């Protein structure tokens, strides 16, 4: 049995693709190993969203090539594979085959052919019509939490972003298929599903089958209600696109307790001028109205965001607007990124006016502001009882259990491994930067 080591970089979509690749490989007689050194095959599922992520591929292949012992077969999958295709074979010595983002269903077959002696296979094709979207329980990142893609690709073409090129056009999965999948996951003991997509609120299936009778102005909010009706314990969804984030999504959260109180709504910049250059299709005014609506909800909904600093043309004034926005919004957390020019995107043609040193300064300043706001904001959880899904044991504390709250915070507490897979009511006693600690009540 050939041992396959599968390394995954990037977003949840990549994690989800890898879970399905592992499922297919397991079914076709390969063994998935966590031991990279002794693997016969190394598959790298790549990310191209920033240069740093892309760099990981080159470092990893270099490491494999220079290691002692027999050289494994190396396959490159995912976004870098899709964008670079055949050139990767020449660019990185040691790469045996290349499989794009929508061709991952054929990895098993391509690997078999490579082992049989076929050289340099490159597949950047579309998904097969009968592509199997299911993940075997053993290959899910958690026995209790499942990622469920509802839409793939992106049609938005924000000027800095490579995703529309690496993952192609938006394609929504049929609602009835998704609902059936949630019911299956529930019957297999999964407690939480994450509906995932680059822009979940752009969800637009070809037919309404499965959504009949569910209220909501958008197909996505009807899907949320339909998934809630399956009775699965918890539902989270990410990522939301501000332009298409309608109030009916908040209304669905308010109506269905199993829709979790967390919204990830990337703002990217606090300056209207920069948002326009980014072609985001939303203004600060509209974004703040959405924040106010979420804040005024009867549920305490945690809001998280993504921000890019140092976009081409970003002035001190624009950056100050971003700092001010961060102060106003009180995000539960924010992922801050330095702008990274991506070849092939419209912004790549713009002059990268902000120096790397200046990007770093802005990054650090914004990070400090966010950290302070975040600490203040998270204090509201102190003494509150949160529902935490016990997902794993912690190696650091004896009897330590770790999991996520409905508001998607990492919460650690002392408990019993028997609790794994169930929801614990945890009273928060300590709020740290990236996690909380509490006691079971």
Cβ(191)–Cβ(176) under 8 Å?
no
Instruction: Print the binding letters for residues 46-65 with ligand 5AD: x by CB under 6 A, - otherwise.
Output: ---xx---------------
Task: Candidates 34-42, 78-86, 334-342, 425-433: pick the segment binding ligand 5AD (CB under 6 A).
Answer: 334-342
Closest CA to 302 of 351, 354, 253: 253
Task: Candidates 217-225, 257-265, 337-345, 425-433: pick the segment binding ligand 5AD (CB under 6 A).
Answer: 337-345
Q: Indicate which single residue of 9, 147, 160, 220 sits in contact with ligand 5AD (rule: CB under 6 A).
A: 160
Nearer to ligand SF4, 347 or 423 (CB): 347
Closest CA to 236 of 197, 205, 189, 180: 197
Instruction: Locate 351 and state its tokens.
Output: 């002059």
Contacts 24+ apart (CB under 8 A), 124-130: 124/81, 124/82, 124/85, 124/98, 124/99, 124/100, 125/100, 126/102, 127/102, 127/103
Closest CA to 192 of 227, 241, 156, 243: 227
Q: Indicate which single residue of 322, 340, 406, 412 sits in contact with ligand 5AD (rule: CB under 6 A).
A: 340
Tell me the closest approach of the beta carbon of residue 249 to ligand SF4, in angstroms: 16
Rounded CA gap, 58 and 100, in Å?
17
Determine if 6 is a binding residue for ligand SF4 (CB under 6 A). no
Nearer to ligand 5AD, 32 or 49 (CB): 49
Nearer to ligand SF4, 158 or 325 (CB): 158
Determine if 139 is a binding residue for ligand 5AD (CB under 6 A). no
Cβ count within 10 A of residue 392: 14
Determine if 348 is a binding residue for ligand 5AD (CB under 6 A). no
Question: Which of ligand SF4, ligand 5AD, none has residue 342 at its interface (CB below 5 to 8 Å by kind)?
Answer: ligand 5AD
Nearer to ligand 5AD, 268 or 412 (CB): 268
Nearer to ligand SF4, 328 or 337 (CB): 337
DSSP 297-354: SSS--EEEEEEEES-TT--HHHHHHHHHHHHHH--SEEEEEE----TTSGGGGS---S
What residues form DSSP beta bridges with 428?
Answer: 438
Question: Which of ligand 5AD, ligand SF4, none has residue 97 at its interface (CB below 5 to 8 Å by kind)?
Answer: none
Phi, psi torsion values for 228, nearest 5 degrees: -60, -35
Q: Indicate which single residue of 308, 325, 388, 424 sits in contact with ligand 5AD (rule: CB under 6 A).
A: 308
Determine if 161 is a binding residue for ligand SF4 (CB under 6 A). yes
Q: CB burial class (10 A; 0-12, 13-18, 19+) of residue 240?
A: buried
The interface with ligand SF4 within residues 96-155 (CB under 6 A) comprises 154
Determine if 308 is a binding residue for ligand SF4 (CB under 6 A). no
Determine if 197 is a binding residue for ligand SF4 (CB under 6 A). no
DSSP 218-268: SHHHHHHHHHHTTT-SEEEEE---GGG--HHHHHHHHH-TTB-SEEE---B
Longest dimension (CA), the chain: 62
Tell me the closest approach of the beta carbon of residue 198 to ligand SF4, in angstroms: 4
Using alpha carbons only, what angle is made at residue 210 by residues 204 and 216, rounded to the nearest 5 degrees?
Answer: 60
Instruction: Locate 290 and state its tokens.
Output: 């959405």
Question: Which of ligand 5AD, ligand SF4, none has residue 164 at its interface (CB below 5 to 8 Å by kind)?
Answer: ligand SF4
Nearer to ligand SF4, 92 or 158 (CB): 158
Q: Indicate which single residue of 20, 50, 139, 156 sits in contact with ligand SF4 (rule: CB under 6 A).
A: 156
Site residues, ligand 5AD (CB under 6 A) = 49-50, 160-161, 266, 268, 306, 308, 337, 339-340, 342
Site residues, ligand SF4 (CB under 6 A) = 154, 156-158, 161, 163-164, 198-199, 241
């Amino acid at each position: 049995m050939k041992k396959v080591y599968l390394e995954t970089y990037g977003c949840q979509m990549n994690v989800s693709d890898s879970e399905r690749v592992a499922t297919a490989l397991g079914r076709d007689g390969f063994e998935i190993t966590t031991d990279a050194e002794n693997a016969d095959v190394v598959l790298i599922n790549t990310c191209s969203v920033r240069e740093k992520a892309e760099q990981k591929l080159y470092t990893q292949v270099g490491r494999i090539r220079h290691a002692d012992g027999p050289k494994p077969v190396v396959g490159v999958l995912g976004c870098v594979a899709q964008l670079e295709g055949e050139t990767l074979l020449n660019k990185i010595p040691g790469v045996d085959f290349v499989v794009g983002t929508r061709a991952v269903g054929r990895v098993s077959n391509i690997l078999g052919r490579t082992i049989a002696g076929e050289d340099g296979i490159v597949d950047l094709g579309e998904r097969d019509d009968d592509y199997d979207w299911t993940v075997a329980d053993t290959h899910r990142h958690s026995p209790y939490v499942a990622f469920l893609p509802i839409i793939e690709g992106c049609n938005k073409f924000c000027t800095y972003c490579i995703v529309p090129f690496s993952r192609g056009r938006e394609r929504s999965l049929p609602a009835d298929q998704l609902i059936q999948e949630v019911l299956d996951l529930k019957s297999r003991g999964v407690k939480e599903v994450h509906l995932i997509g680059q822009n979940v609120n752009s969800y637009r299936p070809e037919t309404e089958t499965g959504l009949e009778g569910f209220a909501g102005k958008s197909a996505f909010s009807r899907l949320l209600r339909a998934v809630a009706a399956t009775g699965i314990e918890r539902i989270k969804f990410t990522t939301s696109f501000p332009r298409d984030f309608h109030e009916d999504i908040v209304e669905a959260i308010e109506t269905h307790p199993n829709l979790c109180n967390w919204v990830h709504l990337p703002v990217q910049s606090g300056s209207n001028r920069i948002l326009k250059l980014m072609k985001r299709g939303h203004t600060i005014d509209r974004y703040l109205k959405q924040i106010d609506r979420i804040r005024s909800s009867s549920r305490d909904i945690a809001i998280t965001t993504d921000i890019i600093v140092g976009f081409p043309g970003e002035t001190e004034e624009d950056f100050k607007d971003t700092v001010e926005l961060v102060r106003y919004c009180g995000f539960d957390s924010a992922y801050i990124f330095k702008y990274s020019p991506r070849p092939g995107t419209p912004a790549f043609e713009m002059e990268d006016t902000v120096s790397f040193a200046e990007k770093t300064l802005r990054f650090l300043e914004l990070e400090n502001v966010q950290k302070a706001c975040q600490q203040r904001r998270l204090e509201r959880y102190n003494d509150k009882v949160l529902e935490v899904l016990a997902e794993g044991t912690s190696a650091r504390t004896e009897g330590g259990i770790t999991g996520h709250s409905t508001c998607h915070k990492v919460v650690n507490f002392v408990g019993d491994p028997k609790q794994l897979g169930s929801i614990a009511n945890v009273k928060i006693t300590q709020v740290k930067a990236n996690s909380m600690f509490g006691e079971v009540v």
